[in-house]
Amino acid sequence: MNLLKSCPGNACVSPLNIAHALGLVMLGTTAETREEVVKTLGHVNHDKAHEILSLALKELQQKDVASVAAKLFVQSGFELKAPFVKAALEKYNAPPVSVDYSDATAACKTINTWVEKETKQMIKKLFNPADLDPNTMVALCSALHFKGKWQFPFDKPFEEVFKLSDKDKHTQKATFMRVKDKFAFSYDDELRCQVVELPYTNGSQMVLAVPGTYGGLEELEKKLTAEWLSTLINKFDRSGDDEVQVTMPKFTLETSTDLKEVLQKVGVKRIFDGATNPLSEMSHIGLHIGAAVHKVKIIVDEVGTEAAAATGMIAMMRMAPMPIMINADHPFLFFIRYKNQTLFSGRLVSIPN
């Protein structure tokens, strides 16, 4: 949640993809630097962090929920420490590949071609040549591609307005979709929001958190934590006694995040500080992270979701035989989850052009 809160406006991040990259970084760190990363990832120690992360990534692939990949792009002739290379390959299947960063255009093309392939052409450009310079020695890259088909497909799309705020005139034309079934759901009085789980056929789910008022997103985000979200999900009404009708917009969201700025806000600072030699376990000479870029593209429509690495009162109707109504026709949060892992978390405040 902290990562998403650090990104303004329409936003989408992949906590698991970022954790994948940080896992690689963590292999090259020690002492205080390593503890900063471990704490941010929410684990007890680095061994446990690697164990949980590597198992989660492997299960995603084994269950065909998502494809994940990682690679180390290393300056030709630059030597990485053997234990680091061995651990990166064993834990994250991240082999080293030689590139020449003195030719930034060619190195950039090599990296971007790999990213495009691993994200099934969803993300075509991770780096620009300006992001690389002759002082670059290693680029640690991770990619995640998710494609989910709704277990209960939505009805035919229709046109409606998306309410950007609690002022009637602040609206935007949008294409909406609607589905009705006995979905797991909850309502939280303190957060004043409805939460519903929309399952995919691959065992993952999209969770929508829809504020109870048109202008309620800011207050919802202030209070909602990852732990609170998990508690809400664990308390879902899964009895199947009530039909739930969900209305939400179709959207395509593509975001680019300066991960260096975001990570520093949430407490990961030392890996960017060249004066402390933070990556001492990665190489024999001083290294630090110079740039960190995170890109996500997500497509949500009536068939499913594809993603690569959200004051008029809205009542929750319980009048039988009417279904419970959850209308995401105003800014909301969304999460794509598999078991206890959040693959993507996002915020939709307006419909992207």
Q: Distance between CA atoms of 277 and 33, rounded to whole angstroms? A: 10
Sketch out the chain's domains with CATH numbers. 7-145+256-295 (3.30.497.10), 149-251+300-348 (2.30.39.10)
What is the token pair recorded at 61? 């692939």
Specify the residue for token string 């002022």. Answer: 167
The whole-model pTM stands at: 0.88
Model confidence at 234: pLDDT above 80: yes
Q: Which of 281-285's residues contact partners 24+ apart within 8 Å by CB, and which partners?
A: 281/27, 281/28, 281/29, 281/30, 281/81, 281/83, 281/84, 282/27, 282/28, 282/29, 282/80, 282/81, 282/84, 282/138, 283/28, 283/78, 283/79, 283/80, 283/81, 283/84, 283/137, 283/138, 284/79, 284/81
Residue 311: per-residue pLDDT:
20
239-267 pLDDT tens trace: 888 899 999 999 999 998 888 888 888 88
Mean pLDDT along residues 204-221: 92
* Segment 100-149, tens digit of pLDDT: 888 989 989 999 999 999 999 999 888 888 888 778 888 888 888 998 99
Answer whether 260's CB lies under 8 Å from 252's CB: no
194-210 mean pLDDT: 94
286: Cβ–Cβ under 8 A, 6 or more apart, which residues?
A: 274, 277, 279, 280
Alpha-carbon distances of 47 from 92, 143, 269, 278, rounded to whole Å = 13, 22, 21, 18
What are the backbone dihedrals phi and psi of residue 68, each rounded to the nearest 5 degrees, phi first? -130, 150
Q: How confident is the model at residue 177 (pLDDT cuts 50, 70, 90)?
A: very high
**Which pLDDT score, from 0 to 100, does residue 312 have?**
21
Q: Is the pLDDT of residue 170 over 50?
A: yes
Predicted pLDDT at 317 = 28
Per-residue pLDDT tens for 77-97? 888 899 999 999 999 998 999
Stretch among 180-184, 321-325, 333-337 having the lowest mean pLDDT: 321-325
